[in-house]
Amino acid sequence: MKIVDKIKDLKAYLAKEKQDNKRIGLVPTMGALHAGHLSLVKRCVKENDICVVSVFVNPTQFNDKHDLETYPRTLDKDCALLQAANCDYVFVPSVEEMYPEPDTRTFDFGPVMQVMEGARRPGHFNGVAQVVSKLFYIVEPDKAYFGEKDFQQIAVIRAMVNQLHIPVEIIDCPIMREADGLAMSSRNTRLTPEQRQKAPLIAHTLKESVNFAAGKSVQDVINFVVKTVEKEPVMKVEYYEIVDGHTMQPIQNWSDTDYPVGCITVYCGDVRLIDNIKYALNHKA
């Protein structure tokens, strides 16, 4: 496994691999790797000849300075995990390498980026599009792998590759969960032991809401989820929306979509956690 920090070096290595007709897979990450990331790496290794993992805490997607400063950074451990997972190249650029000058590009992918995270974290998806488009131009992967925990992010990235005609196949991979149901996230390490113990309530409630949904309206289900999670005083729901999983637009009635997905953001203390759940068709009112 090669650890590369310069764009020109990575491009040179990959040009050689492409000359040899190797298929390239990319897993973009911000490091602090956990089993969720490793499931993407495993799939990337399986489906491609060469697996590239980027580890870069992208400053342009953080709308909260404190979040950027406290984002966990564990590069040595990440590299050991990637080596064990048979990754071929780890790309670890500095901020100066990725942004030699400020990235002034502004993207508009339409309604898909205006709701939920887009509405609450101004500039977040623009920053994601800036860095992911740069990574796609640098690596020119055949396939790129993203976790469904960031459900809306995948929709934004799909819109980006369509709008910019970037020839890459976007592969979405299921959420990985801890044994107690909590969706794996690098931010989980910031929870206090007490918060960590309470946090699985989010996933439990979402799961319970699938059964609760039988015969209920969309609004009933939203009320149920918010009320149940907030019974725990340490939890504050920022939003729970049930959206059309294709367009990310909130639905009012189950018949508005063939793909209803519930997306939640909860503050557990001051740690912002997200999760989501798909509602099966037979649970609709």
Footprint of ligand PAF on this chain (CB under 6 A)? 28-30, 58, 61, 128, 131-132, 150, 153
Which is nearer to ligand PAF, 28 or 260 (by Cβ)? 28
Shortest spacing between CB 46 and ligand PAF, in angstroms = 20
Is 30 or 159 the residue whose CB approaches ligand PAF more closely? 30
| Shortest Å distance, C-beta 281 to ligand PAF | 29
What is the amino acid identity at position 275? Answer: D
- Spatial strand order in the sheet of 24-29: 2-4, 89-91, 50-55, 24-29, 143-147, 169-173
Q: In angstroms, how far is the first alpha carbon of the chain from the final one?
A: 52
Query: Least Å distance between CB 17 and ligand PAF?
Result: 22
When the beta carbons of 36 and 262 are compared against ligand PAF, the nearer one is 36
Q: Is 37 a catalytic residue?
A: yes
Q: Are 180 and 62 in contact (CB under 8 A)?
A: no
State phi, psi for 163 to the nearest 5 degrees.
-70, -40
* Least spacing, CB of residue 66 vs ligand PAF, in Å: 18
Nearest to 110 by CA among 122, 102, 118, 101: 118
- Residue 280: how many other CB atoms lie within 10 Å: 11
Closest CB to ligand PAF among residues 28, 245: 28
Choosing from 34, 37, 246, 283, which is the catalytic residue?
Answer: 37
Helix axes 124-139, 7-19, angle to 10 degrees: 50
Active-site amino acid positions: 37
